[in-house]
Amino acid sequence: AQSVTQPDIHITVSEGASLELRCNYSYGATPYLFWYVQSPGQGLQLLLKYFSGDTLVQGIKGFEAEFKRSQSSFNLRKPSVHWSDAAEYFCAVTPMEYGNKLVFGAGTILRVKS
């Protein structure tokens, strides 16, 4: 089935440690790719997006993501996590066959321990 997969429901990292959140998609053509962050009870804030070109994308708040076509992946990374990064993170895609609709993964909840 066509989908967006975030395999980790929860991740806990120590403050100052590096972070990688995984995202895989299963669509025929490479979709546009997004990462969003959500604080509890709030809307979604765009961290970064990939449409084409350089496969390493820089975003806000020190986040970056790398698109790997061979692995159908778009993993989010941050070299040093801050306590304020604790939130839920969503990977989303706009599959070409679905027009302009965003399809979301189930989300990864990030906990940061001091």
Partner 1 sequence: DGGITQSPKYLFRKEGQNVTLSCEQNLNHDAMYWYRQDPGQGLRLIYYSQIVNDFQKGDIAEGYSVSREKKESFPLTVTSAQKNPTAFYLCASRRDYGYTFGSGTRLTVV
Q: Which residues bind partner 1 (CB under 8 A)?
A: 4, 6, 9, 32, 34, 36, 41-46, 49, 51, 90, 92, 94, 100-107
CB of 50 to partner 1, least distance (A): 11
Among 56, 93, 75, 92, residue whose Cα is nearest residue 18: 75
Measured over the CA atoms of residue 68, residue 74, residue 19 and residue 6, the dihedral's sign is negative
CB of 6 to partner 1, least distance (A): 8
Of residues 51 and 83, the one with the C-beta less far from partner 1: 51
Of residues 12 and 42, the one with the C-beta less far from partner 1: 42
Beta strand extents in the chain (DSSP E only): 4-5, 10-14, 19-21, 24-25, 32-38, 44-50, 56-58, 64-68, 73-78, 87-94, 103-104, 108-113
Of residues 16 and 91, the one with the C-beta less far from partner 1: 91
CB of 100 to partner 1, least distance (A): 6
What element of type H or E holds 100?
Answer: none
CB of 17 to partner 1, least distance (A): 25
